[in-house]
Amino acid sequence: DAKTTQPTSMDCAEGRAANLPCNHSTISGNEYVYWYRQIHSQGPQYIIHGLKNNETNEMASLIITEDRKSSTLILPHATLRDTAVYYCIVSPVGSNYKLTFGKGTLLTVNP
């Protein structure tokens, strides 16, 4: 499986955009990039995923570089409730592929 590299921690001011980077230089052509987050004491929550095109939903935007070796999760207007650990995971899609969580990035949104 492809591995990911994320910064251990990041800070962001409330109301500003939070840009969380992820490096996945060994990603294969059939592997998607998934993002989850885990707010303290809660189960992980799915945010977004993509293959090679940029994606946007009600929670966030995902920007994947053209060579697919890195991506950025963007929270356009961070709030205090976005303080969480954010996990970037790469995985093929298909039968019996499982998600393996790394250590993620602790994003702290400051007032």
Partner 1 sequence: DAGVIQSPRHEVTEMGQEVTLRCKPISGHDYLFWYRQTMMRGLELLIYFNNNVPIDDSGMPEDRFSAKMPNASFSTLKIQPSEPRDSAVYFCASSLGTPGRRGYTFGSGTRLTVV
List of residues contacting partner 1 (CB under 8 A): 32, 34, 36, 42-47, 49, 91, 93, 95-103
> Minimum distance from CB of 31 to partner 1 (Å)?
10
Residue 15 backbone zone (phi > 0: left; psi -120 to 50: alpha; other: beta) = left
CA 90 to each of CA 16, 19, 82, 103, 111: distance values in angstroms, whole numbers, following the listed order: 27, 18, 22, 14, 32
Least distance to partner 1 from the beta carbon of 16, Å?
26
If the CB atoms of residues 94 and 111 are measured against partner 1, the closer one turns out to be 94
Q: Which is nearer to partner 1, 14 or 44 (CB)?
A: 44
| Nearer of residues 8 and 66 to partner 1, judged by Cβ | 8
Question: CA-CA distance, 103 to 42, in Å (whole number)?
Answer: 16
- Residue in the block written with tokens 């293959």: 51
Shortest distance in whole angstroms from residue 111 CB to partner 1? 27
State the nearest-atom distance from the C-beta of 34 to partner 1, in Å. Answer: 6
Per DSSP, 94 falls in state S
Closer to partner 1 at the Cβ: 49 or 52? Answer: 49
| Strands of the sheet with 55-56, listed across from one edge | 18-23, 70-75, 61-64, 55-56
